[in-house]
Amino acid sequence: MPFITFLSQFLKHPKNTGAVAPSSKRLAQKMAEAIDFEKARCIVELGAGTGSFTEEIIKRKKKHTKLILIEINEVFFKDLQKRYGGAPGVVVIHGSAETIQTYIKELNIEKVDFVLSGLPFTSLPAGVSSRILSNVMDALEENGKFITFQYSLVKKSFIQQFFQTINVKKVWLNFPPAYVFYCRKKNGRAENGAA
């Protein structure tokens, strides 16, 4: 039961979990829309939790695409490993998004095309968020995209410091309603990520 697991982990680790319930299917679809699944060779998901976004990515991803899940919470990690560890091209890592570069290097991957994040930047310490975002920037290939969601726009200018362009869309069908941030490493049209 993702909802019960999620709530119990929120009660134990409120700042890292950052939400009382998993994201909705609608939010997952809006996040995944930004990915060009034909072209993606490597997608990284940060803070996969109970797998709301993972489900959507696995449904759409091509056989040739590698998907790396990085999750800091041991309970979530074990569950993700059980569910997706055996899926073709999927690697589940128990660790912090701060170390994204080390993980991809260990997998002999130089750069990644898309990074999807469920990380709660509003409740994470500023230093941790900065390290994550600057390492994500370095891990992304030149035309790479970073897609994240937040429940408010409080961290928009903070996140904006790291990317050339950032577009925001509100998704009402989520508890609570959320904003999806489509960020590009290089200048360009970030709307819906498809450009």
Q: State the minimum distance, in angstroms, from the CB of residue 6 to ligand SAM.
A: 7
The token pair at 112 is 């990644």
Q: Which residues pair with 93 in a beta bridge?
A: 70
Within 113-132, the residues that bind ligand SAM by CB under 6 A are 118-120, 124
Q: How many residues bind ligand SAM (CB under 6 A)?
A: 25
Contact stretch for ligand SAM (CB under 6 A) within 48-56, 78-86, 162-170, 183-191: 48-56
User: Within 10 Å of residue 63's Cβ, how many Cβ atoms?
Assistant: 6
CB of 75 to ligand SAM, least distance (A): 9
Q: Of 69, 72, 115, 140, which one interacts with ligand SAM (CB under 6 A)?
A: 72
Find out whether 56 and 78 touch, Cβ atoms under 8 Å: no
Of the ranges 34-42, 55-63, 70-78, 133-141, which one interacts with ligand SAM (CB under 6 A)?
Answer: 70-78
Residues with Cβ < 8 Å from 195, sequence gap 6 or more? 188, 189
Contacts to ligand SAM by CB under 6 A: 16-19, 22-23, 46-50, 52-53, 70-73, 76, 96-98, 118-120, 124
